[in-house]
């Protein structure tokens, strides 16, 4: 009948408790700020417009669906989870994405992936990644439009956001991401030759590495504050580095180095901000380790052998699919129980 609650005591000698759900979400949002700031520094204000638009769509759509479902709107909005989904999807999209693209992505994320499954705590898939995956397969032209590092205020920013820029001009804006370029270097080209040819616009690789480090900083804060547990990020990065190293050692001229995999694309962002979404992740600690390791392995496999240059969204969604099974087979053994696997029937006394 616990009358004492961690959030209600101020005199605890050792604070081990996590903050309440709502402030948990806000902490995660706050931890994205270094990443967003660094991205904006390198890729312009289009990053911020993405985030703001997606967040606004997120809150508006959540409120609208809650109204249709006749659920209390205020309480649900207060938990900031829709805001967080918006921020995460916004940062995943190419800078200065048109408003309608963001809108379609957020409808998939909030309405379909989250609310249609019952709202916060009930969605089997990571909402932001459902939105991202839908956009990636439906609008590949727009989703691969990563501009090279540029001015804070690009010339066509407004036209891009409003979607009024002629399609002919879109291509001229685009520059390959490091993962993109490496993916399409062709089998005949050796890795050393590829790098020697200076394949990327100036400063691209540096920009991506700085952004990755900014995500690492934000994620480190979340782990230190015990907002996220270490299991998923460490397992994911561990298996990713391990697999990348194995490939790299087997044929260094053919495969990318583990460091390249770690510091480009969405690896660190995904490890700390996407894979750690507790709702769609495995629940037990052992399950989380398997879940994280699975994501890391899938990222490398899809990046190396699959059709897409980056793979965090697909890897997370695929592992989301495995969560019910992981939960069933990763139940810890309660003290005093001889054996414990609820997956195996007929062991009850």
Q: What minimum distance in Å lies between the beta carbon of 333 and other proteins?
A: 7
Q: What minimum distance in Å lies between the beta carbon of 274 and other proteins?
A: 15
Residue closer to other proteins (CB basis): 307 or 336: 336
Outline where 107-257 has alpha helix (H). 127-138, 140-143, 157-162, 167-173, 178-183, 191-196, 204-224, 231-250
Q: What minimum distance in Å lies between the beta carbon of 3 and other proteins?
A: 5
Q: What minimum distance in Å lies between the beta carbon of 97 and other proteins?
A: 28
| Residue 26 token pair | 């806000």
Q: Give the separation between CA 285 and CA 343, rounded to whole angstroms.
A: 17
Q: Is there a contact between 149 and 204 (Cβ–Cβ < 8 Å)? A: yes
Residue closer to other proteins (CB basis): 307 or 346: 346
Q: What minimum distance in Å lies between the beta carbon of 120 and other proteins?
A: 5
Q: Which of 78, 90, 104, 76 is nearest to 32 (CA)?
A: 90
Structure letter (DSSP) for residue 271 = I
Q: Give the separation between CA 176 and CA 113, rounded to whole angstroms.
A: 30
Residue closer to other proteins (CB basis): 70 or 348: 348
Q: Which of 102, 91, 88, 15 is nearest to 57 (CA)?
A: 102
The helix/strand count (H/E) of the chain reads as 17, 0
Q: Give the separation between CA 5 and CA 2, rounded to whole angstroms.
A: 7
Residue closer to other proteins (CB basis): 220 or 278: 278
Q: What minimum distance in Å lies between the beta carbon of 286 and other proteins?
A: 10
Q: Is there a contact between 29 and 84 (Cβ–Cβ < 8 Å)? A: yes
Q: What minimum distance in Å lies between the beta carbon of 241 and other proteins?
A: 24
Residue closer to other proteins (CB basis): 197 or 325: 325
Query: Which residue reads 């700390």 in tokens?
Result: 272
- Contact residues toward other proteins (CB under 8 A) are 1-9, 11-14, 16-22, 24, 75, 79, 81, 119-122, 229, 278-279, 281, 283-285, 288, 327, 331-338, 340, 342, 345, 348-349
Half-sphere exposure of residue 340: CA atoms within 13 angstroms, side-chain side: 10
Residue closer to other proteins (CB basis): 182 or 272: 272
Residue closer to other proteins (CB basis): 252 or 343: 343
């Amino acid at each position: 009948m616990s009358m004492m609650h961690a959030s209600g005591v101020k005199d605890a000698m050792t604070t081990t408790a996590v903050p309440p759900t709502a402030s948990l979400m806000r902490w995660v949002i706050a931890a994205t700020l270094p990443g967003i700031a660094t991205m904006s520094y390198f890729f312009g204000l289009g990053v911020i417009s993405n985030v703001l638009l997606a967040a606004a769509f997120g809150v508006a759509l959540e409120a609208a669906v809650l109204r249709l479902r006749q659920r209390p709107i205020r309480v649900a909005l207060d938990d900031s989870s829709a805001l967080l989904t918006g921020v995460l999807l916004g940062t995943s999209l190419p800078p200065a994405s048109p408003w309608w693209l963001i809108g379609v992505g957020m409808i998939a994320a909030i309405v379909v992936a989250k609310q249609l499954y019952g709202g916060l705590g009930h969605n089997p898939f990571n909402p932001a990644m459902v939105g991202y995956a839908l956009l990636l397969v439906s609008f590949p032209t727009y989703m691969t439009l990563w501009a090279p590092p540029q001015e804070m205020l690009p010339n066509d920013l407004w036209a891009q956001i409003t979607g009024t820029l002629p399609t002919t001009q879109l291509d001229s804006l685009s520059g390959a991401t490091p993962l993109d370029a490496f993916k399409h270097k062709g089998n005949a080209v050796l890795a050393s030759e590829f790098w020697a040819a200076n394949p990327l616009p100036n400063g691209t690789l540096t920009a991506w590495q700085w952004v990755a480090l900014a995500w690492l900083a934000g994620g480190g804060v979340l782990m230190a504050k015990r907002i996220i547990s270490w299991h998923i990020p460490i397992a994911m990065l561990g298996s990713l580095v391990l697999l990348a190293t194995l490939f790299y050692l087997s044929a260094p001229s053919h495969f990318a180095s583990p460091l390249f995999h770690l510091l480009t694309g969405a690896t660190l962002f995904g490890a700390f901000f996407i894979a750690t979404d507790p709702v769609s992740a495995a629940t037990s600690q052992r399950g989380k380790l398997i879940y994280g390791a699975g994501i890391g392995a899938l990222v490398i496999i899809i990046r190396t052998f699959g059709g897409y240059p980056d793979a965090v969204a697909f890897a997370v969604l695929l592992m989301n699919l495995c969560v019910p099974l992981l939960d069933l087979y990763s139940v810890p053994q309660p003290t005093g129980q001889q054996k414990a696997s609820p997956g195996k029937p007929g062991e009850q006394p």
